[in-house]
């Protein structure tokens, strides 16, 4: 891990904690395990202000290029749950892949237990779109 721990922007961290609590994780047991792992990782995450966020961290609206175990390369955008759209490769942070990537950085390799089994994912690129301004949290 490039930075030693997950890095999250303060407002995004608070928002993510809230939606994880509200979601009750998921109805699907395997997805539930992925989200429980993300919740555990958040306990040791480095939480920073917006102006201290490294540019190469996967966060809300980041476009992330990954290479999977089988060599397939995909570019996905990690979004808040209501913005998900599989047709345009926008995946919710509450999906197994979204939860696996969030807070990691370009160059990181993530070993994650997906519903289909353990997979290793290499993050080869992270591009920032405009961050989600609709996150309204009191800190």
Closest by alpha carbon to 96, among 107, 106, 82, 110? 110
Q: How confident is the model at residue 139 (pLDDT cuts 50, 70, 90)?
A: very low
Residue 1, in any domain of the structure: no
Residue 84, in any domain of the structure: yes
Residue 137, in any domain of the structure: no
Residue 23, in any domain of the structure: yes
pTM of the shown model? 0.86
Cβ proximity of 20 and 41 under 8 Å: no
CATH number of the domain that residue 33 is part of: 3.10.50.30
Would you state the pLDDT for residue 98?
92
Residue 139, in any domain of the structure: no
Residue 32, in any domain of the structure: yes
Would you state the pLDDT for residue 137?
43
Q: Which domain holds residue 66?
A: 7-127
Would you state the pLDDT for residue 83?
93
Residue 81, in any domain of the structure: yes
Q: How many helices (H) and strands (E) does the chain have?
A: 3, 7
pLDDT tens digit string along 16-61? 998 888 765 556 676 777 778 888 989 999 999 999 999 999 999 9
pLDDT tens digit string along 55-86? 999 999 999 999 998 899 999 999 998 999 99
Residue 136, in any domain of the structure: no
Domain count, the chain: 1
């Amino acid at each position: 891990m490039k930075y030693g721990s997950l890095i999250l922007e303060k407002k995004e961290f608070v928002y993510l904690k809230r939606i994880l609590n509200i979601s009750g994780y998921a109805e699907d047991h395997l997805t539930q395990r992925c989200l429980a792992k993300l919740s555990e990782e958040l306990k040791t995450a480095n939480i920073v202000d917006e102006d201290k966020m490294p540019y190469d961290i996967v966060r809300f609206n980041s476009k992330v290029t990954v290479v999977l175990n089988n060599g397939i390369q995909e570019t996905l955008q990690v979004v808040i749950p209501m913005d998900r759209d599989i047709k345009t490769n926008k995946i919710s942070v509450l999906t197994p892949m979204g939860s696996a990537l969030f807070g990691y950085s370009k160059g990181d390799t993530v070993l994650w237990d997906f519903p289909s089994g353990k997979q290793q994912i290499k993050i080869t690129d992270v591009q920032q779109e405009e961050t989600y301004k609709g996150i309204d949290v009191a800190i």
